[in-house]
């Protein structure tokens, strides 16, 4: 199954960096003003979704889903749900962070929605990679990132282990009220992170 790339309208400056993540057979969904990134990313849309309140409506509507302006889902969230319906298992979201904080948070929480659907998803931008760590999943974070942070965005995360880092943990707990897992550093070839219960947001920050 192809991987789904969802492109939103937030700012992208380093297109060369973002393009390194993509493969020729990826399925591209552009969301409304995310279309402004098409010529710079160099990948044509397989599907376009939007209410077109921030970008002109494409003339050719053969691969376009036009949404009403008044709706419950943002264009990006609708695109994610549509891709789930079409059977995609792996997702990369870009152009979805930066700018308005309400959209930032809504799109970050979409990672939790995808995790609950047992999908693999990653948000990428000029500065970072963002993903969800699921229970009993071991994640290796390779050397080269300036910082990595673990943030609990829902419920309680228990049995958290970190090794190979400046600040290691063994069986720890992080609650949304006390976020002490920010700005850790890799000390060995890689750091390894896992947890027993709950979900954690992993944010890896570039140099």
Read off the pLDDT of residues 17-47 as tens digits, 9 standing for 90 and up: 999 999 999 999 999 889 999 999 999 999 9
Q: Which of 69, 101, 126 is the last residue in one of the domains?
A: 126
Q: What is the mean pLDDT of the segment spanning 51-58?
A: 77
* Shared domain check, 107 and 149: no
* Degrees to nearest 5, angle at CA 92 with 91 and 96: 125
Max mean pLDDT among 49-63, 66-80, 115-129 falls in 115-129
Question: How many Cα atoms occupy the beta-carbon half-sphere of 163 within 13 Å?
Answer: 9
Query: For position 12, what pLDDT does the model report?
Result: 97
| pLDDT for 17 | 97
Mean of pLDDT values over 55-59: 75
Q: Kindly report each contact of residues 34-41 with a partner whose C-beta sits within 8 Å and lies 24 or more positions away, as own/partner.
A: 34/7, 34/8, 34/9, 34/95, 36/9, 37/7, 37/9, 37/12, 37/95, 38/7, 40/12, 40/15, 41/7, 41/15
Residue 81 belongs to domain with CATH number: 3.40.50.10240
Higher model confidence: residue 95 or residue 70?
95
Number of domain units in the chain: 2
Q: Tell me the average pLDDT across 121-149.
A: 97
Residue 202 above 80 pLDDT? yes
State the DSSP code for 134.
P
DSSP, residue by residue, 19-87? HTT--TTPEEEEEGGGGGGHHHHT---SEEEE--SSSPPPS--TTEEEPPSS-SS-HHHHHHHHHHHTT
Residues 76 and 178 in one domain: no
What is the rounded average pLDDT of the residues 186-206? 97
**pLDDT computed for residue 58 by the predictor:** 78
- Has residue 98 got a pLDDT over 80? yes
Is residue 112 scored above 80 in pLDDT? yes
Q: Are residues 76 and 173 in the same domain?
A: no
Instruction: Indicate whether 12 and 113 sit together in one domain.
Output: yes
Q: What is the CATH number of the domain that holds 141?
A: 2.60.120.320
What's the whole-model pTM score? 0.93
Res 70: pLDDT: 82
Least Cα distance to 75 among 83, 67, 87 occurs for: 67
How confident is the prediction for the chain on average, in pLDDT?
94
Give the mean pLDDT of 61-84: 90
């Amino acid at each position: 199954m192809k991987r789904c790339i969802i492109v939103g309208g937030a700012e992208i400056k380093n297109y060369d960096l973002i393009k390194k993540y993509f493969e020729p057979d990826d399925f591209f969904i552009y969301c409304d003003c995310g279309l402004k990134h098409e010529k710079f990313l160099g990948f044509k849309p397989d599907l376009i979704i939007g209410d077109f309140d921030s970008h002109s409506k494409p003339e050719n509507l053969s691969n376009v889903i036009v949404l009403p302006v008044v709706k419950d889902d943002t264009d990006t969230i609708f695109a994610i749900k549509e891709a789930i319906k079409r059977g995609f298992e792996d997702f990369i979201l870009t152009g979805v962070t930066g700018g308005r904080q309400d959209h930032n948070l809504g799109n970050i929480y979409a990672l939790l929605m995808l995790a609950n659907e047992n999908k693999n998803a990653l948000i990428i931008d000029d500065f970072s990679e963002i993903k969800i760590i699921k229970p009993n999943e071991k994640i290796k974070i390779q050397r080269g990132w300036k910082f990595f942070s673990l943030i609990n965005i829902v419920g309680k995360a228990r049995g958290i282990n970190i090794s190979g880092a400046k600040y290691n943990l063994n069986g720890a707990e992080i609650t949304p009220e006390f976020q002490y897992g920010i700005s850790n550093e890799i000390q060995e070839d890689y750091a390894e992170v896992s947890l027993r219960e709950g979900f954690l947001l992993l944010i890896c920050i570039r140099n």
